[in-house]
Homo-oligomer: A and B are copies of this chain.
Amino acid sequence: MPKKVNHEQRRNKIAEAAWRVILENGMEGASVRKIAEKAGLSLGALRYYFSNQEELILYAMRLVKDRAAERIEQIIHRDVPPKQKMLEVLLEIVPTNRQTRAEMEVWFTFVSYARHHPHLLKEEGDGILAALQLMFEYMESNGLLRPGIDRQLEIEKLYAMVDGLALHVMLEPERLTENQVEKVIASQLDVIFE
């Protein structure tokens, strides 16, 4: 009986190889040949799944977002108080462990590269701003938004803080510990929510 290959698994394995190549060599070093080599596949086998480099890179980038979305989905269904839940979701966005930090670094590298390669820019954004809007609505509907808070302004502040922390964690992992990141975000949530 021929071995049944799970196509999605194979595509994801190739995408993860692409992440590793991007982390090691940057986007400009992420050739299809190198990614095939890293994935332990022939160029022909890889081309069966992705017909060109752009298709492969876009798939690899969507996988970064999908993985983060899955982890956030799990947190949302956990039975914890709303504010704690929001903190945990934001800590998922600001990557504090090695795996999520690598994903974030791949993402930043891609965003920076895509600015000079407009044909990749059709790729949608990271979805963080939309997620924050939803979280604020959820908190408000639970009566947890502090009175007198300017919602849009606080969303903008928290959005900037979260992405700034993500950038700093990536650039200075020694200086900014997981503990500190949590303290910074928790303190901002205390300003906004009861």
Contacts and interface: CB of A to CB of B under 8 A. Distances in A.
A174 interface: no
Interface in A1-26: 23-26
A157 interface: yes
Contacts of A27: 28
Interface residues of A, number: 38
Contact of A26 (B113, B171, B180): B113
Contact of A188 (B25, B157, B180): B157
Nearest to A110: B112
A32 interface: no
Given A153-B183, A153-B187, A171-B111, A25 B116 contact: yes
Contact of A162 (B108, B125, B164): B164
24 contacts: A24-B116, A29-B116, A105-B115, A108-B112, A109-B115, A111-B171, A112-B113, A125-B171, A153-B184, A156-B180, A157-B184, A157-B187, A159-B168, A160-B161, A160-B164, A160-B168, A162-B164, A163-B163, A163-B164, A163-B168, A164-B164, A164-B165, A164-B167, A191-B191
Interface of A: 23-29, 105, 108-109, 111-113, 115-117, 125, 150, 153, 156-157, 159-165, 167-168, 171, 176, 180, 183-184, 187-188, 191
